[in-house]
Amino acid sequence: MANAAAAVHGRTVSPWSDAEITEAFTRFEAQDPEPNGELDHTDAFTLLVAVVLSAQATDTGVNKATKGLFAAASTPAAMVALGEDEVAHHIRTLGLFRGKAKNVVELSRLLLERHAGVVPQDREALEALPGVGRKTANVVLNIAFGVPTIAVDTHLFRVANRTGLAPGATPLAVELGLEARIPDRFKLHAHHWLILHGRYICKAAKPACSRCLITDLCRWPDKNF
């Protein structure tokens, strides 16, 4: 509901100026110069698996599930050897765990078959793996390979529309809007700043506007102080 309301609002606001966008990200950078994703991982493969598992789940929940999973299998070969039933057992606390287990084992098999067990640094190749969509590919490219992609999750989608920073009816529209407007110097970390802002400050039910770094720039009319 909150995201739908934000998207409706986003269609009514005037666009941010270049100066406002630069000011907003300058503030985010000053507060947190090197933001990190919150999914536990040790390399590109464990990151890929964690992001696939994070669909409709919290990062905290995923981290609890992957602690045992990655202890048992932290490479594509080990994941295939572990098998779908055992993977499912490790991640049974997550929603849709059986389908996710199937995807994790199959993407591991395909990494071995197509990429010598190495996670590819290529969007098309990533999206050809089961369970990997555009957002997952963007996260992996950004965190594992330092590509300045913008992964639009539910938090970022809400922030972009609610503030008026990059309104869009779909995640792709928001992503392209942000890519077009954010200065290059901020792009590597931009989606981390916005996701964390949506998760902890610009929350769906009760945004903490009194603690918001950009409340003076935000176009949302129902600020919560």
- Tokens for 88, please give them: 């499912």
* Mean per-residue pLDDT, 116-133: 97
Q: Which of 138, 129, 71 is nearest to 103 (CA)?
A: 129
pLDDT of residue 157 exceeding 90, the answer is yes
- Tokens for 173, please give them: 């529209």
Gap between the Cα atoms of 101 and 79, Å rounded: 10
pLDDT of residue 164 exceeding 80, the answer is yes
- pLDDT tier, 122 (very low <50, low <70, confident <90, very high otherwise): very high
* Mean per-residue pLDDT, 158-163: 96
Q: How many helices (H) and strands (E) does the chain have?
A: 12, 0
Q: How high does pLDDT run on average in the chain?
A: 95
* Mean per-residue pLDDT, 167-171: 95
Q: Say if residue 179 is exposed, middle or buried (CB neighbours under 10 Å; 0-12, 13-18, 19+).
A: middle
Predicted pLDDT at 7: 75
- pLDDT tier, 43 (very low <50, low <70, confident <90, very high otherwise): very high
pLDDT of residue 71 exceeding 90, the answer is yes
* Mean per-residue pLDDT, 65-84: 98
Give backbone dihedrals phi and psi of 134, rounded to 5 degrees, phi first: -65, -45
Q: Would you please indicate which residues are annotated as catalytic (active-site) residues?
A: 135, 153
Predicted pLDDT at 10: 74
Spell out the long-range contacts of 73-81 with Cβ–Cβ below 8 A and sequence spacing 24 or more.
74/42, 74/43, 74/45, 74/46, 75/45, 75/117, 76/45, 76/108, 76/109, 76/111, 76/112, 76/117, 77/108, 77/112, 77/117, 79/49, 79/104, 79/105, 79/108, 80/105, 80/108, 80/109, 80/112
Non-local CB neighbours of 36 within 8 Å, separated by 6+ positions: 192
What is the tens place of the pLDDT at every residue in 186-206? 999 999 999 999 999 999 999
